[in-house]
Amino acid sequence: MQQREEKQLEASVDSLISLVALTKNALQSFIYKLENEYERLTWPNVLDNFGLLSGQLNTINKMLKNEKTPSFRSQVIIPLVLSQKPDDDLTVLTEQRVPVFSHEIVPDYLRTKPDPEVEEQEKQLSTEAARIGPDVAQKQIQALNKMCSNLLEKLNNPRDDRDAESAASRLNKPSFNPGDTNALVAAVAFGKGLSKCRPPGPMAPGHPGQGPMMSGGPTLQQVTIGGGGGQQAGKMPSSIKTNIKSASASMHPYNR
């Protein structure tokens, strides 16, 4: 009876090793494609690889849950020999991942429980979850479901609707500052905010009351014209007045 159980255990272990090897090869092939053939990799190919890995994992789970498969939980693995020297057979068996079966790596490879730090974190999470009442938990679940529903609604909306909303927001957003615009108009139209300083340069001699003219520019003088035909002295013809106004306008600081 004992020999039969041992043979059945060996056969189950061999079958499990072969299934795990197939899963490992499929996973390595998928990782190689992601790292080296990502430019030619399409989404249907990615889904096919995920489907293959999922099917192989399901096969392993079915084998472990089968009634004919002995319970591996009842089997105990005890390290009989620990050595600091490299083991060639172990290196080949583990594909050069474990060259030495020493005291340092045995606790990690033969561990049946999580690390103490992980166990402590799990205890803290379980304690915090137990403190939350049913009403609070239900409210949190409803809030999370509402957020997920809003996110799915936004993702399912057509792209044209999102583009229209973004275009409308850009149109409604002002592209100027009204205060700066009013200040600029006031400065150009009324000279508000402009400094009233005299430009540097010597004044024209004999004209102390002359306004702020640019140095070297033409000056205006009173013209006395003597003429006949009853024309009064000092009265300028209309053509001369027009020329003087044009010259004055061209020399105005805002027209330069």
Token look-up 């620990």 returns 82
Walk along the chain (256 residues) and give the pLDDT tens digit of each residue: 677 888 888 888 999 999 999 999 999 999 999 999 888 888 899 999 999 999 999 999 999 888 888 888 788 888 888 888 998 998 998 888 889 989 888 888 888 888 888 899 999 999 988 888 888 889 999 999 999 998 888 877 766 666 777 776 666 666 678 888 888 888 888 888 777 665 555 555 544 444 444 444 444 444 444 444 444 444 445 554 454 444 444 444 444 4
Instruction: Report the alpha-carbon distance of residue 69 to residue 11 in Å, rounded.
Output: 9
C-alpha distance from residue 21 to each of 28, 59, 97, 101, 216 (Å): 10, 13, 15, 22, 98
Tell me, what's the pLDDT at 254?
47
Q: Looking up tokens 């690390």, which residue turns up?
A: 115
How many angstroms separate the CA atoms of 72 and 13, rounded? 9
**Whole-structure pTM value:** 0.43
